[in-house]
């Protein structure tokens, strides 16, 4: 069992295997389940992601019960169809799929936590963007998830993946880095290039706070996943171009853990600081919960 990115890359390189294959074999060893069983479970995760993406652009889109978020995936889809964009269609496809997945999550729909529900849009954004542009097979898409999970496991075991513990750098930051690494393998990159993409992507989002307005996983969470997807695609391209990161992946994870532990509680999913603490953020909180709170006090 590997416990670091360095060990994971060394193992894959020495055995001349992909990181996805190393992860599959480890799962077989740890769970004592067959390859077919493990593969089928990951295929189910992939299908769950596809279902969310497809649901997000049906009709006018999906909307949360609060009405704070929804419909942006449809707007992005229509914008892309015009064919005149600043960022290019591959990145904006990732943005659309990321927005859509998190809108489904905010609307109480079914998503696949990657690594959390609050960060559930970043990875689907990347995988389906490159599935479109690179015509990935079903097998390649499933392997993408195994590669991402290998990197995510190291993060979870050595740092944190929850906003309550380490801020959004631990959620969208981790998801973006996992996606960047997996995208590199899907594009034919080496295990070391996967590691470079991971460290670039995570390093770009170090210090990202978790500041949900009104304590809800909507603002700024939905749009933040879109940024995570774009960051992952850019980091993956940089690594594939031969660009390396001065700080190794494992040290970047250590940095995230250190930052997360020092981050004030107001910036770790409490809904007290950051954008949640702005005048508008507080007004939204009062509008949603103010009446209910007063009623509870009257009942007491």
Token code pair at residue 285: 């909180």
Q: How confident is the model at residue 1 (pLDDT cuts 50, 70, 90)?
A: confident
Residue 244 pLDDT > 90, yes or no?
yes
- Whole-model pTM? 0.95
Average pLDDT rounded to a whole number, residues 211-238:
98
Average pLDDT rounded to a whole number, residues 220-237:
98
Residue 296 lies in a domain: no
Q: Which domain holds residue 134?
A: 5-289
Residue 294 lies in a domain: no
Average pLDDT rounded to a whole number, residues 224-244:
98
Average pLDDT rounded to a whole number, residues 37-64:
98
Total structural domains in the chain? 1
Average pLDDT rounded to a whole number, residues 279-298:
74
From residue 13, how far is each of 10, 183, 194, 250 by CA, in Å? Answer: 5, 18, 12, 17
Q: What is the pLDDT at residue 291?
A: 55
Residue 297 lies in a domain: no
Average pLDDT rounded to a whole number, residues 213-220:
97
Residue 299 lies in a domain: no
Average pLDDT rounded to a whole number, residues 76-90:
97
Q: How confident is the model at residue 300 (pLDDT cuts 50, 70, 90)?
A: very low
Average pLDDT rounded to a whole number, residues 19-35:
97
Residue 151 lies in a domain: yes
pLDDT in tens, 108-165: 999 999 999 999 999 999 999 999 999 999 999 999 999 999 999 999 999 999 999 9
Residue 297 pLDDT > 60, yes or no?
no
Q: What is the pLDDT at residue 296?
A: 40
3-state secondary structure 178-195: HHHHHHHHHCCCCHHHHH
Mean pLDDT of the chain: 96
Average pLDDT rounded to a whole number, residues 271-289:
96
Q: What are phi and psi of 63, to 5 degrees?
A: -130, 145
pLDDT in tens, 54-73: 999 999 999 999 999 999 99
CA distance 14 to 270: 44
> For the chain, how are helix, strand and coil distributed in percent, rounded to 5?
70, 0, 30
CATH number for the domain that contains residue 102: 1.10.4100
Average pLDDT rounded to a whole number, residues 196-219:
98
How many residues does the structure list for the chain? 300
Residue 193 lies in a domain: yes
Q: How confident is the model at residue 290 (pLDDT cuts 50, 70, 90)?
A: confident
Residue 298 lies in a domain: no
From residue 51, how far is each of 116, 132, 240 by CA, in Å? Answer: 17, 16, 30
Residue 300 lies in a domain: no
Look at the alpha carbons of 202, 208, 214, 218 in this order and tell me if their dihedral is positive or negative.
negative
Q: What is the pLDDT at residue 293?
A: 41
């Amino acid at each position: 069992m590997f416990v670091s990115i360095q060990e994971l890359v060394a193992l894959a390189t020495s055995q001349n295997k992909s990181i996805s294959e190393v992860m599959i074999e480890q799962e077989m060893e740890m769970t004592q389940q067959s390859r077919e069983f493990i593969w089928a479970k990951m295929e189910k995760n992939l299908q769950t992601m596809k279902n969310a993406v497809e649901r997000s652009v049906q009709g006018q889109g999906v909307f949360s019960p609060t009405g704070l978020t929804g419909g942006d995936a449809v707007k992005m889809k229509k914008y892309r169809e015009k064919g005149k964009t600043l960022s290019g269609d591959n990145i904006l496809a990732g943005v659309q799929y990321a927005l859509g997945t998190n809108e489904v999550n905010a609307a109480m729909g079914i998503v696949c936590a990657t690594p959390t529900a609050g960060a559930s849009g970043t990875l689907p954004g990347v995988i389906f963007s490159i599935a479109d542009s690179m015509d990935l097979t079903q097998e390649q898409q499933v392997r993408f998830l195994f590669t991402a999970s290998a990197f995510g496991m190291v993060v979870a075991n050595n740092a944190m993946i929850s906003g309550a513990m380490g801020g959004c750098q631990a959620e969208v930051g981790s998801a973006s880095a996992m996606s960047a690494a997996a995208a590199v393998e899907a594009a034919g990159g080496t295990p070391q290039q996967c590691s470079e993409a991971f460290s670039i992507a995570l390093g770009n989002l170090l210090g990202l706070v978790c500041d949900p307005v009104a304590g809800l996983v909507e603002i700024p969470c939905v749009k933040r996943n879109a940024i995570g997807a774009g960051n992952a695609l850019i980091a993956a391209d940089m690594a594939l171009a031969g660009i390396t990161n001065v700080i190794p992946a494992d040290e970047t994870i250590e940095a995230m853990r250190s930052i997360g532990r020092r981050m004030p509680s107001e910036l770790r999913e409490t809904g007290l600081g950051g954008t949640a603490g702005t005048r508008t953020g507080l007004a939204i909180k009062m509008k949603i919960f103010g009446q209910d709170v007063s009623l509870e006090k009257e009942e007491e």
